[in-house]
Structure 1
Amino acid sequence: MRKPLILIVVVVLVVLYASLFVVQEGQRGIVLRFGKVLRDSENKPEIFSPGLHFKIPFIETVKTLDARIQTMENQADRFVTMEKKDLIVDSYIKWRISDFSRYYLATGGGDVSQAEVLLKRKFSDRLRSELGRLDVKGIVTDSRNRLMTDVREALNSGTAGDGEVETTAADNAIASAAARVERETKGAQPAVNPNSMAALGIEVVDVRIKQISLPAEVSDAIFQRMRAEREAVARRHRSQGQEEAEKLRAAADYEVTRTLAEAERTSLITRGEADAETARLFADAFSQDPAFFAFIRSLRAYENSFSSNNDIMVLSPDSDFFRFMKSPATTTPTPAGRP
C-alpha cells in the first residue's frame, strides 16, 4: 500500500515540476505546443514576462528571448565620402528587442544571427548613405555625433520619405519579413514602416563609430607627403639657422677686427706720444749742455761698436770718432761761447 502511494506522489511531483517554468529577469518566454507557437486572440505569439508560469508537461516547450540590450560588433568596412575619398570605418550597434512577438515571427523563431544579419546590412547601407553626404573633416569633427543620431533614427523609423529612391537588398529582406508577419497575424499587428528595424521588432539604442582610418595605400601616400613636408620645413629651419649663424659669426669677426684695429691705433698713438715725450725730454735735457750730449752719444757708439770681439774697424786714428779716446788735454770740449 505504501509503495503505490510513494509512486503516485513521485509521479505527481514530476508532472508538477514539468508543468512549471521560470522566465529569468531580462528574458521573455514563448511557449511552443507541438512545435507551434501559442497565440492570443489576435493571433500574435503569447509572450511570458519574468516569473513563474505553468505549461502542459511533455506537450509544451518554452523558448526564451533575451530582452537585454545587446552589442553587435561590425567588421571594419570601406566607405566613400562626399569628396570621393575612401575611409575605413569600424563601428558597433547597441540594440534590443522591442516587440517580442513580431521579432519571433520576423526572424524565423527568434534567430539572433538572422536578426543581426539584417540589422548589419541595413546599418551598413544607411551609414554608407550618410557618409556619402559629408566630407572627411565633417566626419571626424563636429558632424560625427549628428551623423550617429541620424543613422540611429533612420534605422528605427525607416528611410521612406527622405528622398531616397533606390532600395537595397536589406530593405527588400526586411520588407519581406514584415510582410510575413502581417500574413501570419492576419493584420492584427500595428502597422509599421516595412523599411525600418521596427518591422523586425528591434529597436536600435545606440550607434557608435569606434575608429576611422584611411586605407593602407592612402595612408602610405599621406605619410610620405607629411614626411616630405616636415623635411622641407626642417631644411628651411636649418638654412635659416645657418644664415643666422653666418650673420652672427660675421658680426663677431667684424667686432673683433674693429676692436683690434682700435686697440692697435690707440697703442700706436700712445706709443707715438710716449716717443715724442721721450724725445722732448731728451732734447730738453741735452740742450742744456751740448758737449755733454756729444760725449754721451760717443760713449753709446763705443759701446755698440766694441760689444763683440770679432768686430774689425778700419778707421784713421785722426778720425773724429776716437776724439774722446785721446789725451784729455786734446779732447776736452770747448765750452760754448768761449774762444
Structure 2
Amino acid sequence: MTKGTISLIALVGVVFAILSSVFIVDERQKALVLQFGQIVKVQEEPGLGFKIPFIQEVVRYDDRILALDTPATEVTPSDDRRLVVDAFARYRISDVVQFRQAVGVGGLRAAEDRLEGILNPVIREVLGSDGVTSNTILSADRASLMQRITTQARARALPLGLEVVDVRLKQTNLPEQNLEATFARMRAEREREAADEIARGEEAALRVRAQADRTVVELVSEAQKTADITRGEADAQRNAIFADAYGADEEFFEFRRSLDAYEKSIRGENSTLVINPNDAFFDYLKSPEGVAERR
C-alpha cells in the first residue's frame, strides 16, 4: 500500500470522525448527549453541538407543544347521572433530563401512557367532586372545571418532566344504556307540557265561548226587549187609531172588522163554513134590505 493511499484513508477517517462529532439541534428540539446511557450534556439551544464520536450518542426530543387525546372516561357527578367524557390535553417537555430519567428509552409513547394515567383519574376526581352536577358540566361552568383539571394534572405531571399546558373537554355524552331512558323521559316531559298547553287552550276556549254565548244572550234579550217595546207601542197606536175610527163611524168600524174576519176565515178556493145563515157574521154578505130587516 502506497503512502498516498494511506494518507487518503487517514484523511477520510479524520473527516468522518469530525462529522461524527458534530450534531445539529434545530429550534423545535432539545437534545441530550449520552455516554454509556448516562447524561453528560444537555443541548436546549438551537445550533451546533459536539460529542465524542463512537462513544457518545445524541437523543433529540420535541420541544413543541404536543397534543394527547384521552380515551372516553365515564364519570359520575354528584347527581348520580353518569356521563362519558372525551378530553384532550396539550403538553410539552419542560425538563429533558427529568423526562429522560422518568421514562427512560420509552420516549414520548411511554410518557403519553403515563400522562394518560394521570389525566383520567384527575378528570373523574374533579367531575365527581361534591357540588359538581351533570348540569354544571354541561353549562358554562365547565371552564372552571377544566381549569381545575389542568391545575391538578400539571402538578402530577411535573415529576415526569412534563408541563401540562391545557386540558379541554371535547364531548360530554350519556352512556348508551342511559340514552333510551333519557329520551323516554324527555318525551314524557314534552308530552306532559303539550297536554298542559292543550288543557290551558281548551280552558281559554271555553271562557271565550261562554263569554260569546253570554254576549249573544244579552244582545238577543236586549233586541227582544226593544222589539216588544216597539210592538207594544205599535199596538197601542193601532188600538188608538181603531178607537178613534170606531168613535168617528161605528158602522164603518164594524164593516172593516167583518171584512178582516171574512179574509181570515175564508181562504182558498174550496173553503167551506158550516154556520147558521142568519148569524150576524154574514150581515155584510146579505142584501141591504135583509140587513136592515135584521137590525
TM-score range, shorter-chain basis? 0.7 to 0.9
**Equivalent in the alignment of 1:291:** 251
1:38–1:46 Cα contact (<8 Å) kept: no
| TM-score normalised over the length of structure 2 | 0.78
Deviation at 1:143, TM superposition (A): 6.0
Residues 6-27 of structure 1, C-alpha deviations (whole Å, 9 max, x = no match): 9679836655544432111120
**Equivalent in the alignment of 1:326:** 287
1:65–1:110 Cα contact (<8 Å) kept: no
Greater RCO between the two (CA within 8 Å, min separation 6)?
Answer: 1
Work out the number of aligned pairs and report it. Answer: 289
Residues 165-186 of structure 1, C-alpha deviations (whole Å, 9 max, x = no match): xxxxxxxxxxxxxxxxxxxxxx
State yes or no: 1:78 paired with 2:39: no
- The gaps in structure 2 that reach 5 residues or longer are none
Q: 2:90 aligns with which of 86, 94, 97?
A: 94
- Helix, strand or coil: the match of 2:84? strand
State yes or no: 1:121 paired with 2:117: yes
State yes or no: 1:24 paired with 2:26: yes
**Equivalent in the alignment of 1:230:** 190
- Helix, strand or coil: the match of 2:24? strand
What does 1:129-168 align with in structure 2 at a 5 Å threshold? Answer: 129-134=125-130, 135-136=132-133, 137-141=135-139, 144-157=142-155
Deviation at 1:100, TM superposition (A): 0.9
Deviation at 1:5, TM superposition (A): 12
**Equivalent in the alignment of 2:227:** 267
**Equivalent in the alignment of 1:169:** none
2:25–2:43 Cα contact (<8 Å) kept: no
Aligned counterparts of 1:77 and 1:141: Cα–Cα separation in 2 = 19
What is the RMSD computed on CA atoms of the aligned residues?
3.8
* Aligned amino acid, residue 90 of structure 1: D
Summarize the Cα distance change of 1:331–1:198 in structure 2 as closer, same or farther, 3 Å threshold.
same
Residues 135-178 of structure 1, C-alpha deviations (whole Å, 9 max, x = no match): 31554557644444444343444xxxxxxxxxxxxxxxxxxxxx
Residues 50-85 of structure 1, C-alpha deviations (whole Å, 9 max, x = no match): 112234456654321111111111011112334554
Identity %: 36
* Aligned amino acid, residue 102 of structure 1: Q
- Helix, strand or coil: the match of 1:107? helix
Q: Give 1 or 2: higher helix fraction.
A: 2
| TM-score normalised over the length of structure 1 | 0.69
- The gaps in structure 1 that reach 5 residues or longer are 158-195, 335-339
